[in-house]
Amino acid sequence: MIRFIDLFAGIGGIRLPFDELGYRCVFSSEWDRAAALTYRANFGDEPKGDITQIAADDIPPHELLLAGFPCQAFSIMGKMEGFGDTRGTMFFEIARILERHRPRAILLENVKQLTTHDRGRTFQTILRTLSALGYHLKWAVLNALDFGLAQKRERVIIVGFLDKGQCEALSLNFPKKSYSLPDTLERDEDVDRSLFASERIVEKRRESVRGKRVFYPSVWHENKSGNVSVLDHACALRTGASYNYLLVNGVRRPSARELLRLQGFPDTFRIVVPYAEIRRQTGNSVAVPMIRAVARRMDSVINNRTTRNTPSCATGATLSPR
């Protein structure tokens, strides 16, 4: 049984596919208390707190390290201060643990902008650090839309192996799957009335889309400049966005269950915190089907069920979004 650790665990979106594969989580860390409540309710584990306060020797031995390390320091929606932001230094906590434990494989996730931050120098520092620790790497920018989710969410995935042959056997090219907004949405009558926008907001949105093609069901997305787009999918869920930046059919905010569905969490996933927390947690989480596809590829490599299909490591590919 492969043992893994789940760092910056959030609500467990990266962990979930590896649990499905029968891997065993031996350690998790998440400093946010509300996220830890959701994590405990769904996985039965109480995550440890701030990873900077945990000695590497106190982390159990493991073969796989998972980490969706904090992205705000690199996100286009933030100040993009990178390693100048304390959240940006969290990558070096990962390096500290890798140096001590040397797990066979790693899976890291972050925002697409990480690859271009500081003209690419930040990303190259990360790749060089991992390579110096002995890891052979592949990375790709993947889009949740291509994995059957009605959400445009582009994220960089970095996979590393100590064994070069395993790295070369891994492919991060995936066939595209179709998505369905209607299958994601709940009926309006089943949604809490508090999530419906005021008449003033609804009228303002209708005025903003006058002359545009309007269809239903749809998600009306207002960007930072105030432009409103009518889409058959949600734009990336965000933690710090305006309360009304996404409106289903121009009239209401997504429900807690819809937010979880947009990230690919199953309907059995328990909601134990208020709506505002779910909104924040899903904005910080990962697209589960995307991670599931990567996890299955990694599992095939780790268990020698695949053959070498790409010639080089320490390279990456940016896969075109829709």
- Active-site residue, 167 included: no
C-alpha 286/C-alpha 109 separation (Å) is 8
Out of 25, 71, 167, 313, which one is annotated catalytic? 71
Q: Dihedral, CA atoms, 4, 10, 16, 22, nearest 10 degrees?
A: 20
Tokens of 39: 């994590």
C-alpha 183/C-alpha 270 separation (Å) is 19
Q: Tell me whether strands 315-318 and 246-248 are parallel, antiparallel or unpaired.
A: unpaired
Q: Length of the chain, please?
A: 322
Whether the ω angle into residue 217 lies within 30 degrees of 0, i.e. cis, is yes
C-alpha 175/C-alpha 181 separation (Å) is 20
- Say which amino acid occupies 137: L
Torsion-angle region of 75 (φ positive above 0: left; ψ -120 to 50: alpha; else: beta): beta
**If residue 108 lies in a helix (H) or strand (E), which one and from where to where?**
strand 105-111
- Say which amino acid occupies 29: S
- List, by residue number, the catalytic residues: 71
